[in-house]
Amino acid sequence: MGILSMNVNLPRIWPALCWGEFGQMVDPPVSTKLHVWRKPEDLSTVISVRVVVPKAEKEFGAEYVVSDRSTYETLAEDEIYRTIIKELLGKLAPRLYEWDPRIGTPFGKLPSLPLFDRPDGAHLRQFAVLERNDGDVYCPFCRVRMHKGIGLYGNLSWGGGNFGWVHRRCLP
């Protein structure tokens, strides 16, 4: 049993969890906020993530209440925070796909960006099939089979989490 302490260096952990391999972005399409506080009435810890999309004037949020640390008894304190924050980012990601700064990136291994990555990993499976050129993967816009390489249907770009890889000519 027991509760989470507030002794973890969250300002150091937060950017890496949020922006992944991108590091801190110079001009991010969204702003992010992490709030952690203790509820004295039941000694629980609340972890809250807020994402603001200035261009759309929208704000999205998710929070998690940890009232009993025993659920995570095998993890160190900073790993508990990492696990919960990753889960919260996964809940928010589907609502943020259209603001993914990687949209339009030519076919290749995408850098990890947890704030916009599909929590189910479908984009990684699609990439693996396209990389091997051994499966039927169709463009969600024109419904023509995609393949990596040069040519009319081999010129692929990242279309965001809702679409995955698409033909560059079909990208909206």
Mapping DSSP onto H, E and C, the string for the chain reads CCCCCCCCCHHHHHHHHHHHHHCCCCCCCCEEEEEEEEECCCCEEEEEEEEEEHHHCEEEEEEEEECCHHHHCCCCHHHHHHHHHHHHHHHHHHHCHHHCCCCCCECCCCCCCCCCCCCCCHHHHHHHHHHHCCCCCECCCCCCECCCCCCCCCCEEECCCCCCEEEHHHCC
Return the minimum-mean-pLDDT range out of 14-18, 102-106, 123-127, 151-155.
151-155
State the pLDDT at residue 3. 58
User: How sure is the predictor about 67, in pLDDT bands with cuts at 50, 70 and 90?
Assistant: confident
User: How sure is the predictor about 122, in pLDDT bands with cuts at 50, 70 and 90?
Assistant: confident
- Mean pLDDT score of the chain, rounded to an integer? 84
Return the minimum-mean-pLDDT range out of 9-18, 88-97, 103-112, 149-158.
149-158
User: How sure is the predictor about 154, in pLDDT bands with cuts at 50, 70 and 90?
Assistant: low
Is the model's pLDDT at 107 over the cut of 80?
A: yes
Is the model's pLDDT at 25 over the cut of 90?
A: no
Q: What is the mean pLDDT of residues 107-116?
A: 87
